[in-house]
A and B are shown apart, each in its own frame.
Chain A
């Protein structure tokens, strides 16, 4: 059985939910601790949402310097699949595993909503279970989720197909080009602001046109990773 690690930092909120998503997808969830250097031989890693270190300095900045991130950066450079969700995405940009930055929402307020995303790249380690152009609904909840990058970086991301998810209908935080998630050049590291781990089980997911709380499409990020592991 594939083993997917979920890192807990001081101030992580959604580590348990991410572990649960990993289990529902059919893998073993391995809790990892920020202060360790040991990745315990996991096959993939999830950096969960939350407010690591109280968002001190900048969101994700202190977590990006934690002992386990040294190992994760090395492993990601060698191809280990890494998914950063919300605060995890902020940690990935602060670690420079992904380009750009995340700033306070343009409207100045925290936002929590069921958000439609469009899949723009279905060949990453975390999206191969989707089709390009497919739309799905996941919860989104953030205060500092505005994705920004230099014009040059944006051109590079767009030109290389490295925008993975885009917001549909509503841009909830002022992200440039409606960007909700991006990947690295190799496609093994993906970061996104919305929360796929909250859309994995009927009765507990986002509302969809079909029924209340029925959204489970977030699960496919995790099943994508399992598919990817079979091919490497």
Chain B
């Protein structure tokens, strides 16, 4: 069994009221080091078989069609869970570096 992770965020130019509320809470608690909070979604898709580049492409297509609405959201990463250090072609970054 492999788990493929899809991460979706509201588009940066759109207001994210939920993230804004959490950001406000942090400031009220005195955590002034955090200047912004945004909240997105993480999908975990479990499937049989090895996760190849083709499989990731397939999941990316599914994400574009259904899991995200590209009018209001961006897909920021598609990768196999546990393979975070592998280069993620889609996001253009080494996923492990982002966390």
Range of interface residues on B (Cβ < 8 Å): 10 to 19
Known: A108-B20, A108-B21. A174 touches B69 (CB 8 A): no
Q: Which residues of A contact B33 (CB under 8 A)?
A: none
Chain A interface, number of residues (Cβ within 8 angstroms): 19
Which residues on the A side are within 8 Å of B25 (C-beta)? none
A104 touches B17 (CB 8 A): yes
Interface string of A179-200 (1 = CB under 8 A from B): 0000000000000000000000
Kindly identify which residue among A100, A108, A148 contacts B17, using a CB–CB cutoff of 8 Å: A108
Q: Is the CB of B72 within 8 A of A101?
A: yes
Q: How far is the CB of A221 from chain B (nearest CB, A)?
A: 25
Query: Quick check: is A3 within 8 A (CB to CB) of the other chain?
Result: no
Contact with B along A130-167 (1 / 0, CB 8 A): 00000000000000000011100000000000000000
Whether B1 is near chain A, meaning CB under 8 Å from some CB there, is: no
* B10 contacts across to A, CB distance below 8 A: 103
Q: List 8 A-B contacts (CB under 8 A).
A: A58-B69, A65-B66, A100-B71, A101-B72, A104-B18, A105-B17, A108-B18, A148-B14
